Amino acid sequence: MIGIFRSTILTKIAMALSGLIWIGFSIAHLSGHFLLFAGQEAYNAYGQGLKDLGPLLWLGRIIFIISFLLHSFSGILLLSRNKEARPVQYKAKKPIVSTPQSRMMALTGILLFTFMVYHLAHFTWGVVHAEYSHLTYTLSDGREVHDVYTMVIGSYQNVFVCLAYVLFMLGFGIHLSHAIASVVQTLGFNHPMYNSLVKKVANGLSTIIILGYISIPASVMLGVLKLTGGH
């Protein structure tokens, strides 16, 4: 395992593959969140459905954690090697090939780590905004489940929580746009003829994903999504 990181090429591949897992997760996670627009019954059934996966859910969590650690370690290692390769900094930096997104990857990576901890503390551990962590809802089939619908909507009615999530998502968008392009190029589609198109597709896809995530707190603040009181 350690030998993988002795090669810059293999380190980049490890970073790309782990990033690919998180890109897929972000799309799947968003599709689940869109069930909020289908109502309290649909979203709470979705939340319970994830819990019902049991060991498979934990397997997914373990994969996501490992991929996150692998991605973070690879990024730190590559950044360190880049600095070692250029120990004397230029007096005036004039980035030619790099993009604003690529130069902000370390910063947005730290922002995303902060977001992940806060997100878990909010929706998984119930440490913050704990007033929503013990609410229940009775599904149409009679099962009493966690009322995640009320947890999400109620939390986003707090303007500070809403703005925090929007800020985190904007940082994620910057990180994601560069990540998508890097994954494609690292895995073999790196050619001057296609690089411009890859960057446009990456920017477009990341914009769609981020607007999708932001649409949820925005819909709460605009009153499109609201509490129904059906506990």
Summarize pLDDT for 158-203 with one digit per residue, the tens. 999 999 999 999 989 888 888 888 888 787 776 677 778 888 888 9
Summarize pLDDT for 68-103 with one digit per residue, the tens. 888 888 888 887 877 776 655 544 444 445 666 666
Q: How far is CA 40 from CA 9, 86, 118, 147, in A?
A: 47, 55, 24, 8
Residue 83 lies in a domain: yes
Q: How far is CA 59 from CA 17, 144, 213, in A?
A: 18, 25, 25
Summary mean pLDDT of the chain: 85
Residue 231 lies in a domain: no
According to the model, what pLDDT value does residue 94 have? Answer: 47
Per-residue confidence band for 130, with pLDDT thresholds at 50, 70 and 90: confident
Residue 114 lies in a domain: yes
Lowest mean pLDDT of 19-28, 34-43, 127-136, 182-191, name the range.
Answer: 182-191
Q: Give Cβ neighbours of residue 182 (< 8 Å, ≥ 6 apart).
A: 15, 16, 19, 102
Summarize pLDDT for 13-26 with one digit per residue, the tens. 888 888 889 899 99
Residue 124 to residue 118: CA distance in whole angstroms? 10
Residue 8 to residue 5: CA distance in whole angstroms? 7
* SS3 (DSSP) at 145: strand
Q: How many Cα atoms within 13 Å fall on the side-chain side of residue 143?
A: 12
Determine contact, residues 174/108, Cβ cutoff 8 Å. yes
Q: Which residue bears the tokens 């973070």?
A: 72
Beta-bridge partner residues of 137: 145
According to the model, what pLDDT value does residue 95 have? Answer: 44
Residue 228 lies in a domain: no
Q: Token pair for residue 118?
A: 């806060």
According to the model, what pLDDT value does residue 37 have? Answer: 97
pLDDT higher than threshold 70 for residue 2:
no
Residue 148 lies in a domain: yes
For residues 45 and 2, which has the higher predicted lDDT (pLDDT)?
Answer: 45
Q: How far is CA 132 from CA 20, 123, 144, in A?
A: 33, 9, 15
Residue 230 lies in a domain: no
Residue 194 lies in a domain: yes
User: Model pTM?
Assistant: 0.82
Determine contact, residues 128/118, Cβ cutoff 8 Å. yes
Per-residue confidence band for 41, with pLDDT thresholds at 50, 70 and 90: very high
User: Whole domain around residue 196: which residue ranges?
Assistant: 2-88+99-221
CATH of the domain at 184: 1.20.1300
Torsion-angle region of 7 (φ positive above 0: left; ψ -120 to 50: alpha; else: beta): beta
Q: What average pLDDT does the segment 148-154 reach?
A: 95
* SS3 (DSSP) at 138: strand
Residue 44 to residue 33: CA distance in whole angstroms? 11
Q: Which residue bears the tokens 């503390």?
A: 121
Q: How many domains does the chain have?
A: 1
What count of other Cβ atoms lies within 10 Å of the Cβ of residue 176? 25
Residue 46 to residue 18: CA distance in whole angstroms? 26
Residue 189 to residue 227: CA distance in whole angstroms? 46
For residues 36 and 80, which has the higher predicted lDDT (pLDDT)?
Answer: 36
According to the model, what pLDDT value does residue 213 have? Answer: 96
